[in-house]
A = this chain, B = another copy of it.
Amino acid sequence: MSAAPAPLDLTGDVVALARALCDVPSVSGDETLLADLVESALRAVPHLAVDRHGDAVVARTELGRAQRVVVAGHIDTVPIADNLPVRVVGEGIHRELWGRGTVDMKGGVAVQLSVAAELSDPVRDVTWVFYDHEEVASDLNGLGRLVREAPHLVAGDFAVLCEPTAAGIEGGCNGTLRVEVRVPGEAAHSARSWNGVNAVHGAHEVLARLASYEARSVDVDGLVYREGMNAVGIRGGIAGNVVPDECVVTVNYRFAPSLTPADAEAHVRDLFTGFEVTVTDAAPGARPGLDAPLAAEFADTVLALTGGAPAPKYGWTDVARFAELGVPAVNFGPGDPLLAHKDDEHCPASEIEICRSALAAWLRGTR
């Protein structure tokens, strides 16, 4: 393997920092090396109090301000698709970083680290959170762990998650519900299939309802959330000569944050009337919360400095964890979220720079 990576330089160019962060692989479960580097770099910043919790690192100003803003981001990525180290493509304002993590979300982490190191005198206290295990099962999530085990480290009046939003503000998020719709049958040898009942054939009705389903768009606090109802899996059959006695369709409903998970479940049960429906997974959405004063102020700053108007977030993100705590939260970070997890993941350098400027300006109170 290669030599140990160099210490992170938080005070230099933010794009170079993003590139350095990407070039230290940190696939979920393997974040320790990067967490060590982040921790060391932050401990060298005199105006920050630093805590380590597993592979999460939390750095706080303690200026006794009346309000506290939490700025959070995860340091893990999905598996590397042969797309590291980072390649720099283009020049000047067209410069882009190509590679795993550039969008989701080491560009955002670079913005956090750079502003954290610079800003010794923000108008509100700031808690900078860098956490692990965001890209895997929810119960492993590092931010969730902090909420459960060290809630004082993530307490605040408003939260910004530096997830990719192409430098706009994306507020709230849809909820997500996963169910299994089960179609029963009766097994038989396929050579004498009239002795059985084919469960896969019976599933045609489930799929027909999905194919003709028209997903809604719902206005919540002024933002329009587009829903989705999708089969994300189907399985049936145990052998090439057996009439299947069961077919199971896994359906994922992404529902507007005006619905509770219970509302969503009722809607799905209604859609699949006549079939056995089992909920396997549910997470509430988060209302955009842009009516909160801090959120509105931040949105104004971003609109003025990056041109990004508030929009709904479609992917479920950890803003919902803050929403559950009653803390208004928005997403704001560099990179096109549609490129997250893709093999051709890449991020304009200019978005990293502009997000850095906007976040710093707002926290500095110069806007």
Binding site for B on A (CB under 8 A): 174, 176, 178, 189-195, 198, 200-204, 207-208, 210-211, 215, 226, 228, 230-244, 247, 249-250, 252, 254, 281, 314-316, 338, 341
**Known interface pairs A191-B174, A193-B254, A208-B204; A232-B228 also in contact (CB < 8 Å):** no
Please state if B208 and A237 are interface contacts (CB–CB under 8 Å). no
Q: B232–A241 contact, CB under 8 A?
A: yes
B338 engages A195 (CB within 8 Å) = yes
Q: Are A202 and B191 in contact (CB under 8 A)?
A: no
Q: A228-B191, A254-B193 are in contact. Are A234 and B234 (CB under 8 A)?
A: yes
Question: Dominant SS at the A interface?
Answer: mixed
Inter-subunit contact B201/A231 (CB<8 Å): yes
B190 and A252 form a contact (CB under 8 A): yes
Q: Is the CB of B228 within 8 A of A237?
A: no
* A281 neighbours in B (Cβ, 8 Å): 240
Residue of B nearest to A340 (CB): B189
Report chain B residues within 8 Å CB of A228. Answer: 190-194
Find chain B residues with CB under 8 A from A232 CB.
190, 200, 237, 239-244
Chain B residues whose CB sits within 8 angstroms of the CB of A207 once the complex forms: 200-201, 203-204, 207
Contacts of A243 in B (CB 8 A): 230, 232
Q: List 11 A-B contacts (CB under 8 A).
A: A178-B240, A190-B228, A194-B226, A195-B338, A200-B230, A200-B233, A201-B210, A204-B207, A234-B235, A234-B247, A240-B252
Q: Which residues of B contact A254 (CB under 8 A)?
A: 190-191, 193
Quick check: B203 and A234 within 8 Å, CB to CB?
Answer: yes
A200 to B229, CA, bound (A): 12
Contacts of A239 in B (CB 8 A): 232
A240–B194 Cα distance when bound, in Å, is 34
Q: Are B233 and A237 in contact (CB under 8 A)?
A: yes
Contact of B315 with A192 in the complex, beta carbons under 8 Å: yes
Q: Judge whether A234 and B236 touch: CB under 8 Å.
A: yes
* Residues in B neighbouring A242, C-beta threshold 8 A: 232
A230 and B192 within 8 A (CB): no
Which residue of chain B has its CB nearest to the CB of A209?
A: B204
Contacting residues, chain B, for A238 (C-beta < 8 A): 233
**Least Cβ distance of A180 to chain B in Å?**
11
Q: Kindly name the residue among A191, A202, A233, A236 whose own CB sees the greatest number of chain B CB atoms within 10 A.
A: A191
Residues on the B chain within 8 Å of A215, using CB: 193-194
Chain B residues contacting A178 (CB-CB under 8 Å) are 240
Chain B residues within 8 Å of A210, by CB: 198, 200-201, 204
Q: Across the interface, do A190 and B226 meet the contact criterion of CB distance under 8 Å?
A: no
In the complex, A210 Cα to B250 Cα: how many Å?
21
Distance of A351 Cα from B192 Cα, bound (Å): 22
Which 7 residue pairs of A and B lie closest in terms of their CB atoms, listed nearest first?
A233-B237, A204-B207, A200-B231, A193-B228, A201-B211, A191-B315, A204-B208
